[in-house]
Every structure is written in C-alpha cells, then in structure tokens.
Structure 1
Amino acid sequence: MSKKSGKPTPRTPANTDKGGLAASPDLFDPTVTPSDLDEMAKYGIKCIPVDYFHFGDFRYTNLADAIAQAKRGCGTLSEV
C-alpha cells in the first residue's frame, strides 16, 4: 500500500521481489525497458513514486513547506 495515497499498489510477479515492491513499469519513465526491470530486480533497486507540490516556480516534497512559503510570499497563486 502506498503511504502517501493510501491506495494499494498492485503486486505482480514483475514488480514483486521477496514480498517487497520492486520495479513496476507503470510507476516511472515509460522508456525503461524489460531488461532495465530485470537489472532492477537483480540488484534490489526499487522505484518509489514521489509527490511534488508546486508553488510559483518552486517544487516541494513536503506540503507543509509549500504552504509555509505561500504564506510568507503571498496568499494565492494568482498573486505570484
């Protein structure tokens, strides 16, 4: 289950490795090839989706930081 969205991530043989989530082609760059996925599984490399919050020209990984900056700078995006 994804910690951020609360939605379960489908587990298939292609994206599961020893009970943990590994590579899933629907989670990242569509140019990743099946051999890339094999290499990821071989070395235990995992792909984890990340939420970004955009405010003005900046990107934040933490919503509280984006809100704090918005409050410091201006009240709404239309004022940016």
Structure 2
Amino acid sequence: MLAFNLYGLYSLLYELFALLLPFYGIGFIVSIISLIDILKNKFENNDKLIWVIVVLGSNFLFVFNIVANILYFEIGRKQKI
C-alpha cells in the first residue's frame, strides 16, 4: 500500500512538472529578451548591473521570474538614458 501512495505522489509531481514547464520556458525566453535589452542600452549609475542581477537571479524562482521581467519592462525601461 505504501508503494501505491508513493506512485501516486510521483505521478502528481510529474503532472505538475509537465504543467509548469511551458510557463517556465516562456519565462526563460522573456528573461533572455530582457537581458539583451539591458545589455544593449545605457542606464544611470549602477542600474544596469542591478537589473542584470534581478533578471538573472529570478530564473531560479518561477514566480519571481515572471514578476522580475514585468518589473523590468514597466520600470527598468524608463530608467534608460
């Protein structure tokens, strides 16, 4: 009976992973677009370094990845010189 419960847990985790993988892939692609935009343009002070750290660091956390990219496109793009 214990093996059946573990199988059910593995099955649930597999389905959850399969469900979230496309969203993580989209977030990763948007992060690459953000990094290209950050590295192409000039920013004031150390803002470029801060945005690179935020966008790269956000790839490790799924929810923050989406939030960080939205923040960059809404706030960071206005800070360009």
**TM-score range for the pair, normalised by the shorter chain length:** under 0.3
RCO comparison, higher one (Cα < 8 Å, 6+) = 2
Q: When the two structures are superposed, what TM-score results if normalisation uses the length of structure 2? A: 0.27
Q: When the two structures are superposed, what TM-score results if normalisation uses the length of structure 1? A: 0.28
Give the number of the structure whose residues are more often helix, by fraction. 2
